Amino acid sequence: MPQLETSTLIWISCLVTGAVLWMIFIAPRLLPMLEMTIHQTADDEIRKITIVDKITLYMSSILMFVVAFIMFIMFYEVVMRYLFNSPTLWVEEMSRWLGGVIFLLAGLYAMQQRAHIRVVIVYDMVSRPVQRIFDLIATACVVFFCYAAATGYAKNALTKFTTWELYGSAWNPPIPATMKPLIVIACTWMAIQAINNLIMDWSKPKELHDPADDLK
């Protein structure tokens, strides 16, 4: 990695420190809310979660507030641009950067919640043993795709990170250097989460899906 400027090292250290402190002090307090499955009320029994689920939910707890942060800085940009005629160099690229992070990692929360779109017409018609076979096939497809994406992109991502490739704009943030490795990390964890879901759901009884739940 090339020699970084002091200011760059400072804000990177601040972001890492903030994320670690959030994971330690804030995320555990949000976990009871996040671990509830989609369409589940507070009175329903909560599915048992593993360490894999907790890590996913901890990351999701940060993403919740990243959305609010993007809205805040965009509001700031509007005020500075149209009221003070002093537009910023960094808001648009920062919002794009953080939006990319949300796009990559939000799928992990959807996977943990079993909230991806599924066609369950045939799935609901078969017995539970056959459903398990369907689950195995679906998980194998997810793992194969994630493996292919992660391994095929790993070399390029490592190059972007080790050379600390910048965006090439006036603000010039290290978007390629951070987003490219994040793709590999997200694909790897997606495969782990899919396997975790398969193991945790293996012994559950047959469940019929109500189409009305998707409208709630």
pLDDT in tens, 141-185: 999 999 999 999 999 999 999 998 989 888 888 899 999 999 999
Do 212 and 188 meet the contact criterion of CB atoms below 8 Å apart? no
Interatomic CA distance for residues 190 and 195, integer angstroms: 9
Evaluate if residue 43 carries a pLDDT over 60: no
**What number is the average pLDDT over the span 21-48?**
73
Interatomic CA distance for residues 169 and 52, integer angstroms: 37
Question: Is residue 192 exposed (0-12), middle (13-18) or buried (19+ Cβ within 10 Å)?
Answer: middle
pLDDT bracket for residue 39 (50, 70, 90): low
Task: Dig out the tokens for 57 from the structure.
Answer: 């939910």
Q: What is each CA distance from 72 to 22, 38, 77, 97, 108, in whole angstroms? A: 19, 27, 9, 15, 25
Q: How far is CA 14 from the centre of its chain?
A: 21
Confidence at residue 5, expressed as pLDDT on a 0 to 100 scale: 65
Task: Dig out the tokens for 183 from the structure.
Answer: 């793709």
Biggest distance spanned by C-alpha atoms of the chain? 65
pTM, whole model, 2 decimals? Answer: 0.86
Residue 7 corresponds to which amino acid?
Answer: S
